Amino acid sequence: MNTILGTKLGMSQIFNESAQAVPVTVIKAGPCRVVQIKTAQKDGYEAVQLALETARSAKVGRALAGHFAKAGVDPSPHLVETQVEDSEQFEPGATIDVEAVFQEGVRADVTGVSKGKGFQGVMKRHNFSGQCASHGNHKKHRAGGAIGACATPSRVFRGKAMPGRMGAQRTTVLNLEVVKVLPEEGLLLLRGAVPGPKGGLVLVRRAVKAGG
């Protein structure tokens, strides 16, 4: 198993052996329950479905409720599927804890939904420097400027940096160092920041590009 679901609790800092402050993100990782097992003989690939345990059961439809009941697992609002090398070593209803996936010193990729910023201008959204504050500029200091391309090609190219909706997108941060694993509390401490707000759902997996 190389993947686990969790909840972002926020950022903190710890001190290493050299008495240096290390910024870390604290994640309540797992426990997760195995809901379904996919096999190469039946489904064409090896995978496991995981559900994140929550304080109370989720309200789901009848079809999904039967899916959870078949595995003997309480319904959860969070259900993901991850590929594994050998799915036969898992069984429905089994528990996956954080210490079974991560150890200190390894690298992890974290996927979450970034904070939504709403409709933003080009200075905040694309880091534009803005226009000058003198020489006759009248209430256009934060505007993006002209976007026209004259008679040729007489159109605006797709992807032009312009104002628009910012944030609230699925984002992945690669190669974060696992600083500490606390099995008793089910906590995972990663060096650096991860996407999403406090209390947001995150998917943590072993780094795909472990070399950095």
Per-residue model confidence (pLDDT) at position 11: 93
Residue 113 — pLDDT band, cuts 50, 70, 90?
very high
Residue 136 — pLDDT band, cuts 50, 70, 90?
confident
Q: Residue 91 in 3-state DSSP? A: coil
- Asked if omega into 23 is within 30° of 0 (cis), the reply is no
**Tally of CB atoms within 10 A around 45:** 12
> 58-89: per-residue pLDDT in tens?
788 888 888 888 888 888 888 898 888 888 88
CA-wise closest residue to 159 among 170, 175, 150, 147: 147
Q: Is the pLDDT of residue 179 over 50?
A: yes
Give the separation between CA 109 and CA 195, rounded to whole angstroms. Answer: 11
CA-wise closest residue to 118 among 165, 162, 163, 161: 165
> 145-176: per-residue pLDDT in tens?
888 878 888 888 898 999 999 999 999 999 99
Residue 4 — pLDDT band, cuts 50, 70, 90?
very high
Q: Is the pLDDT of residue 22 over 60?
A: yes
Q: What is the dihedral of CA 94, 95, 101, 102, to 10 degrees?
A: -170
Residue 212 — pLDDT band, cuts 50, 70, 90?
very low
Residue 55 — pLDDT band, cuts 50, 70, 90?
low
Per-residue model confidence (pLDDT) at position 211: 60
Residue 28 — pLDDT band, cuts 50, 70, 90?
very high
Q: Residue 7 in 3-state DSSP? A: strand
Per-residue model confidence (pLDDT) at position 1: 83
Residue 119 — pLDDT band, cuts 50, 70, 90?
very high
Q: Is the pLDDT of residue 10 over 90?
A: yes
